[in-house]
A and B are shown apart, each in its own frame.
Chain A
Amino acid sequence: MIRVLFFAKIKDEIGIDFFDIKSDFPTTVSEIRNSLISEFSDHEPLLKQGYALCAVNQQISNEETIINLDDEVAFFPPVTGG
């Protein structure tokens, strides 16, 4: 199982700040993204590649980044600080 953290608009719109996904390991960002999109299909535009960024162990990742058991995974919108 992997715990995915949500932030900002994604957290607000889906209405939860984390979601636990059953998965075999190792997996990838792309596979986790697809699982999230099937789970929350009403929110696909917020979760799809090109909008939601994914961080693995607090580093911005790409679709091929490997995710292992106990890695910290987060999905969030493009950043808007400053």
Chain B
Amino acid sequence: MIKIVVSKDGFSIDAEYRHLSSDLPSCGAVVTFTGLVREFSERTGVTGMRLEHYPGMTEKALGSICALAADRWDVQRCTVIHRVGDLKTEEQIVFVGVASAHREDAFEACRFIMDYLKTEAPFWKKELTEDGEFWVEARDKDQKARECWGTPDSD
């Protein structure tokens, strides 16, 4: 039911949508989110991103986040894909998809997973710019979005 992929490879939204929705007659809603590498972040002139992760812990953390969502909402299937390595602007970096009987559950669970991923899954972004490489610092905005769900820290 839960599919987690951490990989250098790209992904097809169409294939992931079909994986979420096929042979599931009780499914009434699929919500997907795709994150892209954009050309501006903390600095302008970003040409790409390098994504580092903690192999093993990252996959476990993503699985735990999906399990938390499934405890809270009706989640029939759930997919999280996160790319690592070097990515260029406009490339897809992250995918979250949730299949549910109802749209409210699918919307909420998808947003919850993304908000938790941003503050709890061990990934680190480095911006590659014309002036050099710079680690991205965590933002309060992401922490606040995660705290809005009102559940305690995992520790």
Contact = CB atoms under 8 A, between A and B. Distances in A.
Q: Do A and B come from one complex?
A: yes
B53 A78 contact: no
Chain B: interface size category: 20 to 34
B7 to A, nearest CB: 14
Interface string B121-145: 1111110000000011110001000
Interface in B48-94: 51-54, 56-57, 60-61, 82, 93-94
23 contacts: A8-B52, A8-B124, A55-B122, A58-B54, A59-B57, A59-B155, A60-B120, A60-B153, A61-B155, A76-B54, A76-B124, A77-B124, A77-B137, A78-B137, A79-B118, A79-B119, A81-B94, A81-B122, A81-B124, A81-B125, A82-B93, A82-B117, A82-B142
Given A82-B114, A82-B121, 8 more contacts: A7-B122, A58-B54, A58-B57, A74-B54, A80-B137, A81-B123, A81-B125, A82-B93
Interface of A: 5, 7-9, 12, 55, 58-62, 65, 74, 76-82
